[in-house]
């Protein structure tokens, strides 16, 4: 079986002696069914020629950001969008440093910055350079942003040193890539996700809301897209962008989120309710700005609130329903409350997170969660929301699959 059938891989080659292995890497990726396009830095061309890579990949090799002919054929942004995965092998210490700090001074760094595809590096460098705290910090920074590192391996180096820094062997790199693209687990599936907060209007200028940033929902949307799904996000007001391939429906109140979800849900296979929906809304929205009444000198104002519909429970109650996943933000007895919520709302899975814990949850870039289902309790350690989202999507896809069996 070809494990990379129809996958589009951009292979970036930077200037290290391990570049000679990249020629074989192209072939072995192709053996698994991948289409490969090669981008070379100036340094890499001292080790291996573009002509070799062009002949092996069957595609023109891109080397220059400012080459009008190459840009006319497939420009760097087009290449960034084309890729399902961008792999840089070998990745030198210099390349890692430039990538970690967002440089875009050549074609490869620009492409890495512009792509929304999975980014994988195979570091290759002298052992002392690898161990250097600067490189280690760059490795951490890249990891935090969801960049995957394959290797380096340990052993004898081209310079005669022994230690970590060798580029992994080609077969291990191919294996690693296959593992990272665990086929398109959601290919052909439609995923509907709610994300962000809702705003419940009091009058034309004021509203009730919460601190949800939408980051977890958007990370899930991106992970679902990368897993091959057609994704629709029903989003409360957030300051986030998403890939053009994701259809985004902007809403504000819980009622408008409810309506949008029910318009979209009919052909969804998976519904993920990640939004922090306000439980209550003002009973009436005043047509004009509520005034402080100077004559009466009231020190308090009574608001009357009414219950909002529970969107995720209403989807779970549909006769023809998708696989339904909810979230539970709790501050104590996280697993206990979440388990109860899952049953009460009729959900297939619930993702529980402790919003009282430092550095995770609302508004943070990281999260740590426990997923509960019937006979399932799986915890995921603290990680960036994008890394976590990939693991969650993988779990949801597998659970959906076993549900159908």
Nearer to ligand C5P, 151 or 282 (CB): 282
Nearer to ligand C5P, 349 or 383 (CB): 349
Active-site hit among 159, 178, 242, 274: 159
Binding to ligand C5P, residues 117-176 (CB under 6 A): none
Asked if residue 176 lies in contact with residue 150, where contact means CB atoms within 8 angstroms, the answer is yes
The reply to whether omega before 90 is within 30° of 0 (cis) is yes
- Could you tell me the smallest distance in angstroms from the CB atom of residue 127 to ligand C5P? 48
> How far is the C-alpha of 394 from the C-alpha of 375, rounded, in Å?
18
Nearer to ligand C5P, 57 or 308 (CB): 308
Binding to ligand C5P, residues 249-268 (CB under 6 A): 254
Widest CA span in the chain: 88
194 binds ligand C5P (CB under 6 A): yes
Phi, psi of 269 (to 5 degrees): -95, -30
How many CB atoms sit inside 10 A of residue 179's CB? 11
| Residue partners of 256: CB distance under 8 A and separation at least 6 | none
- Could you tell me the smallest distance in angstroms from the CB atom of residue 261 to ligand C5P? 8
- Could you tell me the smallest distance in angstroms from the CB atom of residue 260 to ligand C5P? 12
Q: Is 242 a catalytic residue?
A: no
Judged by CB under 6 A, the stretch of 27-35, 67-75, 114-122, 272-280 that binds ligand C5P is 272-280
| Residue partners of 140: CB distance under 8 A and separation at least 6 | none
- Could you tell me the smallest distance in angstroms from the CB atom of residue 368 to ligand C5P? 17
For residue 71, the surrounding DSSP H or E stretch is helix 68-74
Nearer to ligand C5P, 39 or 276 (CB): 276
> How far is the C-alpha of 217 from the C-alpha of 210, rounded, in Å?
15
> How far is the C-alpha of 48 from the C-alpha of 365, rounded, in Å?
40
Q: How far is CA 52 from CA 47, 65, 90, 199, in A?
A: 11, 20, 16, 58
How many CB atoms sit inside 10 A of residue 197's CB? 24
Judged by CB under 6 A, the stretch of 72-80, 150-158, 176-184, 270-278 that binds ligand C5P is 270-278
277 binds ligand C5P (CB under 6 A): yes
| Residue partners of 231: CB distance under 8 A and separation at least 6 | 190, 191, 193, 221, 224, 225, 245, 246, 247
| Residue partners of 192: CB distance under 8 A and separation at least 6 | 232, 234, 261, 264, 265, 268, 270, 271, 272, 322
Asked if residue 285 lies in contact with residue 201, where contact means CB atoms within 8 angstroms, the answer is yes
CA 295 to chain CA centroid, Å, is 55
Nearer to ligand C5P, 177 or 232 (CB): 232
Site string for ligand C5P, 291-330 (x = CB under 6 A): -----------------x-xxx-------------xxx--
Nearer to ligand C5P, 177 or 273 (CB): 273
Nearer to ligand C5P, 90 or 326 (CB): 326
238 binds ligand C5P (CB under 6 A): no
334 binds ligand C5P (CB under 6 A): no
- Could you tell me the smallest distance in angstroms from the CB atom of residue 372 to ligand C5P? 12
Query: How many residues touch ligand C5P (CB under 6 A)?
Result: 14
Binding to ligand C5P, residues 336-355 (CB under 6 A): 341
- Could you tell me the smallest distance in angstroms from the CB atom of residue 341 to ligand C5P? 6
Rg (the chain; Cα; Å): 25
- Could you tell me the smallest distance in angstroms from the CB atom of residue 349 to ligand C5P? 10
84 binds ligand C5P (CB under 6 A): no
- Could you tell me the smallest distance in angstroms from the CB atom of residue 266 to ligand C5P? 17
Nearer to ligand C5P, 59 or 210 (CB): 210
Residue ranges of E strands in 274-393: 280-282, 305-307, 323-330, 349-354, 366-373, 376-384
Active-site residues: which are they? 159
In the complex, the residues that contact ligand C5P under the rule CB under 6 A are 194, 254, 273, 275, 277, 279, 308, 310-312, 326-328, 341
């Amino acid at each position: 079986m070809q494990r990379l059938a129809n996958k589009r891989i951009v292979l970036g080659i930077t200037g290290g002696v391990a570049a000679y292995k990249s020629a074989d890497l192209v072939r072995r990726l192709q053996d698994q069914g991948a289409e490969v396009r090669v981008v070379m830095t100036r340094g890499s061309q001292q080790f291996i020629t573009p002509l070799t890579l062009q002949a092996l990949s069957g595609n023109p090799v891109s080397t220059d950001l400012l080459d009008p002919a190459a840009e006319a054929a497939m420009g760097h942004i087009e290449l960034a969008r084309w890729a399902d995965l961008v792999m840089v092998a070998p990745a030198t210490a210099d390349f890692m440093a430039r990538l970690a700090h967002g440089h875009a001074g050549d074609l490869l760094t620009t492409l890495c910055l512009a792509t929304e595809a999975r980014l994988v590096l195979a570091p290759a460098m002298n052992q002392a350079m690898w161990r250097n705290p600067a490189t280690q910090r760059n490795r951490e920074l890249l990891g935090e942003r969801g960049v995957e590192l394959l290797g380096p391996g340990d052993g004898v180096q081209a310079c005669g040193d022994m230690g970590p820094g060798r580029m992994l062997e080609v077969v291990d790199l191919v294996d690693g890539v296959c593992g990272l693209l665990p086929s398109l687990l959601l290919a052909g599936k439609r995923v509907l996700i709610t994300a962000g907060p809702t705003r419940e209007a009091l009058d034309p200028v004021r509203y009730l809301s919460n601190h949800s940033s939408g980051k977890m929902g958007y990370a899930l949307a991106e992970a679902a897209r990368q897993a091959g799904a057609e994704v629709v996000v029903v989003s409360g007001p957030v300051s986030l962008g998403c890939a053009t391939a994701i259809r985004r429906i902007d809403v504000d109140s819980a009622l408008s989120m409810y309506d949008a979800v029910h318009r979209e849900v009919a052909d969804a296979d998976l519904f993920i309710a990640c939004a922090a929906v306000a439980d209550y809304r003002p009973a009436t929205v005043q047509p004009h700005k509520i005034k402080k009444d100077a004559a009466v000198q009231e020190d308090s104002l009574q608001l009357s609130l009414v219950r909002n519909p529970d969107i995720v429970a209403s989807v779970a109650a549909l006769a023809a329903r998708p696989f339904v996943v909810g979230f539970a933000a709790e501050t104590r007895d996280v697993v206990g409350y979440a388990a109860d919520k899952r049953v009460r709302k009729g959900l297939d899975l619930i993702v529980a997170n402790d919003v009282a814990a430092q550095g995770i949850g609302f508004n943070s870039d990281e999260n740590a969660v426990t997923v509960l289902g019937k006979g399932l309790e799986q915890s995921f350690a603290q990680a960036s929301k994008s890394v976590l989202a990939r693991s969650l999507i993988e779990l949801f896809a597998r659970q959906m699959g076993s549900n159908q069996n």
